[in-house]
């Protein structure tokens, strides 16, 4: 019965998000199933998902829809039990753990919900940290300021300034900043060294409404300048209109359906 259902749902769940077929896809998921080590049922089951490069995608996901799991897959922290995930043309399921970490360091800028920064480093050092684990990003950052004495710092300062963070707070300890400022620093770090993918996990949930929109506008502007793909995950549907594309994880994810079926069956038994 489950098979039947998933087969029926598959065409609707498989969403082609971009009209222009020539654009290379940034992310492709095929038949992806994921189960946490101790869980009996797959928490995530995505038959197909393609996200085109340079898109700004809003992923709507109420809590419990497998949002965190999807993010752990898209950031190559975890690999699926079945299926394949291709990020920027690389099938990350074929990579070893160390290679996946390196892939993440090189290609993904990540923004957490909150507490994005190491409290004991200065704002600039927090941003520069993005280059510590990736030679590729370091070189990209340096290439932009070839004439500068400290090219990496110059790039960090450029990004921070672009994100409306004044010079005087750039040298402060990260813990001294307001939450709104912290999130902008996190955005600067995610954009440091121009990674191709920027993934944000509810980055605005701790911001008030005005700051929320301003933050998203700034983020999108810088992502566009970097020609990166933005995946913005949130449970807040009011943000949806700000994005050109959006998907609903609750619809996309078959795993949840199975699980709720299971709960129903369990209740009946």
Partner 1 sequence: MKSLLRLASNSLLNRKATVLLSIFTIAISVLLLLGVEQVRTQAKNSFANTISGTDLIVGARSGQINLLLYSVFRIGNATNNIDWKTYQEFKEHKSVNWTVPFSLGDSHQGFRVLGTNQDYFKHYKFGKKQPLSFVQGKPFDQLFEAVIGADVAHTLGYQLQSPMVLAHGMKDIGFSQHDNAPFRVVGILAPTGTPVDKTIHVSLEAIEAIHVGWESGAFLGHAPSADKLQQRAFEPKQITAFLMGLNSKIHTFHVQREVNDYRLEPLSAIVPGIALHELWSLMSVAEQALLVVSIFVVVAGFLGMLASLLTSLNERRREMAILRALGAKPRHIFSLLVLETGIICGLGILLGMGLLYLILALAGPIIQQNYGLAINLTTPSQYELMLIGCIQLSGLIIGIIPAISAYRQSLSDGMTIRI
Residues within the interface to partner 1 (CB under 8 A)? 68, 71-72, 75, 77-78, 97-98, 101-102, 104-106, 108, 110, 112, 115-121, 129-130, 132-134, 189, 201
| Least Å from the CB of residue 4 to partner 1 | 33
**Per-position DSSP letters for 25-83, written without gaps between them:** EEEEEEEEEE--TT-SS-SEEEEEEEEETT-EEEEE--TTSSHHHHHHHHTTSS--SEE
Closer by beta carbon to partner 1, 9 or else 68? 68
Q: How far is the CB of 195 from partner 1 (least distance, A)?
A: 10
Give the whole-angstrom CA distance, residue 123 versus residue 106. Answer: 21
Q: Which is nearer to partner 1, 98 or 166 (CB)?
A: 98
Distance, in Å, from the CA atom of 197 to the CA atom of 24, rounded to the nearest integer, reads 13
Closest CA relative to residue 34, chosen from 199, 198, 253: 253
Give the Cα-Cα-Cα angle 159, 161, 165 (nearest 5 degrees).
115
State which residue, 101 or 240, has the beta carbon closest to partner 1. Answer: 101
Q: Which two tokens stand for residue 88?
A: 């920027």
Residue closer to partner 1 (CB basis): 18 or 170: 170
> Closer to partner 1 at the Cβ: 75 or 204?
75
Minimum gap (Å) between residue 259 Cβ and partner 1: 18
Cα(88)–Cα(105) distance, rounded to whole angstroms? 14
In angstroms, give the least distance from the CB of 27 to partner 1. Answer: 16
């Amino acid at each position: 019965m489950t098979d039947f259902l998933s087969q029926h749902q598959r065409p609707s769940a498989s969403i082609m998000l971009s009209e222009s077929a020539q654009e290379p896809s940034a992310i492709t998921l095929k038949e992806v199933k994921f189960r946490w080590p101790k869980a009996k049922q797959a928490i995530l089951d995505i038959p197909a998902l393609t996200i085109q490069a340079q898109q700004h995608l809003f992923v709507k996901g109420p809590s419990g829809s497998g949002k965190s799991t999807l993010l752990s897959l898209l950031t190559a922290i975890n690999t699926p039990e079945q299926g394949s995930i291709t990020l920027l043309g690389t099938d990350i399921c074929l990579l070893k753990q160390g290679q996946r970490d390196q892939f993440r360091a090189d290609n993904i800028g990540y923004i957490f919900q909150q507490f994005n920064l190491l409290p004991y480093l200065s704002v600039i050092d927090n941003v520069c940290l993005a280059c510590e684990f990736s030679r590729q990003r370091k070189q990209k950052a340096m290439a932009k300021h070839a004439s500068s004495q400290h090219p990496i710092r110059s790039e960090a300062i450029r990004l921070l300034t672009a994100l409306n963070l004044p010079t005087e707070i750039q040298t402060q300890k990260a813990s001294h900043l307001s939450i709104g400022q912290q999130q902008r620093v996190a955005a600067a770090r995610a954009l440091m060294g121009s990674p191709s993918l920027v993934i944000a996990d509810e980055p605005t949930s701790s911001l008030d409404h005005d700051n929320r929109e301003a933050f998203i506008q700034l983020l999108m502007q810088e992502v566009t300048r970097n020609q990166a793909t933005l995946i913005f995950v949130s449970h807040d549907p009011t943000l949806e209109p700000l994005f050109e594309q959006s998907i609903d994880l609750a619809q996309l994810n078959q795993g949840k359906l199975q699980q709720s079926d299971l709960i129903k069956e369990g209740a009946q038994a």
